[in-house]
Structures are given as C-alpha cells and as structure tokens.
A = this chain, B = another copy of it.
C-alpha cells in the first residue's frame, strides 16, 4: 500500500470460534475480521454506523467482496487488518483490506460499499463524512 495515504490498523486474536476442523481459520470468518476493522475505522473517524443512522438515517451496505486467500491463519495467531480506501465515489466506496500476520499477507479483500438512505435508495455521502475519509484514500504513485 502507498506510503502517502493513511492506513487504518486493527488487531485481533484468533480463538477457537474462528477455526475449523482443518485447524485453520474458516474462510467465512475473514469477513467477520474485516467487518470488525471497518467498524473500528468508521468509529475512529467519528462516524460509527449508529451515528450515521441517527444523524442522516443513512447506512452502508456491502455490495461486492473479492477475497484472495493466500495463507491460512491459525489458532492463537495475532492478526492485523489494514484498511484503506481504493475509490471514493459520491454514493459508494471501494475499500482495500488486508489481513496480515507480522510481515505475511494472509488474505486481501476489495470490498464495495454503497451508501443508502433509510428508504433503500442510494444517497450522497455527506461532506462531513467524506472529508474524514479522504486521508485514507489510496494514493497511487504516478
């Protein structure tokens, strides 16, 4: 990831609940890990889902996930989820999330979230929110 933009980091431990009979983290559970990281990211910029709902009656919804599984995580591993923003549109964004164990990249995801109003229609992301997201926007080297 680019050095010139902020990357949000969130750490977590792997417990029995996360593993399966192969002795590794069950493949669906990485989506739980990155959702925890997104929740903390939104809380850290000051806009947890509860506040967005309270102030705007809006909410984020996941529309697409693309997940690459490279190496498995195991019981008692300490993992870090790195989150940055690949694309920030007026009513959606694409997040890049990586699950790492130390230097090793285990899983990488590209996740598209739409910003919806309580009527279920696509809504414009308020400037108060998007302004706080811009620093996490992936700055590609030119």
Contact = CB atoms under 8 A, between A and B. Distances in A.
A15 B15 CA distance: 16
* Interface range on chain A (Cβ under 8 Å from partner): 35 or more
A22 B64 CA distance: 18
A44 interface: no
A21 B13 CA distance: 15
A22 B31 contact: no
Interface in A4-39: 13, 15-17, 19-24, 26-29, 31-32, 35-36, 39
28 contacts: A13-B39, A13-B40, A15-B32, A15-B36, A15-B39, A16-B22, A16-B35, A17-B20, A17-B35, A17-B36, A20-B21, A21-B23, A21-B75, A22-B59, A28-B28, A28-B31, A28-B32, A28-B35, A31-B31, A39-B76, A49-B75, A50-B75, A50-B76, A61-B69, A64-B67, A65-B66, A65-B69, A66-B66
Interface of A: 13, 15-17, 19-24, 26-29, 31-32, 35-36, 39-40, 48-50, 59, 61-69, 74-76
